[in-house]
């Protein structure tokens, strides 16, 4: 039976969950002040779900994404990514776990300006030790899939914002991660490119059984997601279903 739209937990077996977050707290101490950036957050995300985390500035969205990636220790609570308690991993194991499982998409694209589009997309495979001809082959296929085949030799500055973000998405996909974290992926895009980026993310989640977690302050763009988690003052205050369900696979 489908869980109700507002459910943060599902009755899904743990093996089918991408994320299990339980009573997660992250406090920051600045002088004598304690900031409760995350104040007891709990939710599940199923494998293949596209989820948006929304909230106003300072609500705790980036802190939550950092926690889900194991980039900072929690004050208390549990984060399991594909059933691995990431607090139990040491720094070296965390780096390896991220390399094997997580792709990142950034607001400012984080492309290397001196490298061509093809070389930028290849980078995660360089870190994985894949040989140059296989890297080039995989990157060429992805550039083709994302409609960037005519830009392989271009530098990022020779591409539009939308094209740069597609490049960022190709780079996030090339190592075949099981989950993708996107932090304000449309923050630097015009509204048309933003919508195209969201359609692309929706299509990736639907087609490849990839889980996507996207942080955005844009409540309209969040409607492309399967579920939307609303954060306020470090608390999960609402869970809803995205209302934009146009069949992106047909495009």
**Per-residue mark of binding to ligand ATP, 201-230 (x: CB under 6 A):** ----------------x-------------
d(CA 174, CA 1): 35
Q: State which residue, 72 or 96, has the beta carbon closest to ligand ATP.
A: 72
Shortest distance (Å) from residue 236 CB to ligand ATP = 13
* Of 57 and 247, CB closest to ligand ATP: 57
The single residue among 8, 35, 206, 244 that binds ligand ATP, judged by CB under 6 A, is 35
CB < 8 Å & 24+ apart, contacts of 30-38: 36/233, 36/234, 37/63, 37/234, 38/63, 38/64, 38/67, 38/74, 38/75, 38/77, 38/234
Sheet holding 84-85, edge to edge: 33-46, 17-30, 76-81, 84-85
**One symbol per residue from 136 to 165: x for binding ligand ATP (CB under 6 A), - otherwise; what is it?**
------------------------------
In the 3-class helix/strand/coil scheme, how is 138-159 assigned residue by residue? HHHHHHHHCCCHHHCCCCHHHC
Measured between alpha carbons, how far is 23 from 82 in angstroms, rounded to an integer? 18
Q: Does 71 bind ligand ATP (CB under 6 A)?
A: no
Token pair of 1, please?
């039976």
Per CB under 6 A, 33 contacts ligand ATP = no
Q: Is residue 107 a contact point for ligand ATP (CB under 6 A)?
A: no
Site size for ligand ATP (CB under 6 A): 13
Helices (H), strands (E): how many in the chain? 6, 10
Site membership for ligand ATP, residue 62 (CB under 6 A):
yes
Under the binding rule (CB under 6 A), the answer on residue 58 touching ligand ATP is: yes
Footprint of ligand ATP (CB under 6 A): 28, 30, 35, 37, 55, 57-63, 217
């Amino acid at each position: 039976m489908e869980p109700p739209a507002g459910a943060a937990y599902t009755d899904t077996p743990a093996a089918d969950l991408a994320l299990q977050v339980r009573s997660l707290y992250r406090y920051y101490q600045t002088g004598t002040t304690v900031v409760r950036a995350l104040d007891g957050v709990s939710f599940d995300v199923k494998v293949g779900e596209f989820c948006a985390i929304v909230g106003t500035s300072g609500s705790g969205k980036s802190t939550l994404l950092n926690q889900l990636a194991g980039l900072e220790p929690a004050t208390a609570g549990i984060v399991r990514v594909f059933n691995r308690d990431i607090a139990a991993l040491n720094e070296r194991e965390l780096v390896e776990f991220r390399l094997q499982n997580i792709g990142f998409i950034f607001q400012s694209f984080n492309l290397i300006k001196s490298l061509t589009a093809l070389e930028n997309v290849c980078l995660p495979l360089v870190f994985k030790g894949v040989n140059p001809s296989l890297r080039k082959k995989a990157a060429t296929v992805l550039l083709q899939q994302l409609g960037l085949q005519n830009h392989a030799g271009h530098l990022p500055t020779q591409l539009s914002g939308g094209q740069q973000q597609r490049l960022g998405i190709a780079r996030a996909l090339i190592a075949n991660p099981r989950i993708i974290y996107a932090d304000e992926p449309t923050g630097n895009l015009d509204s048309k490119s933003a919508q195209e980026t969201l359609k692309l993310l929706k299509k990736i989640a639907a087609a490849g059984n990839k889980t996507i977690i996207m942080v955005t302050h844009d409540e309209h763009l969040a409607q492309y997601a399967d579920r939307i988690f609303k954060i306020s003052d470090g608390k999960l205050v609402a869970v809803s279903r995205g209302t934009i369900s146009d069949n992106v696979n047909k495009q």
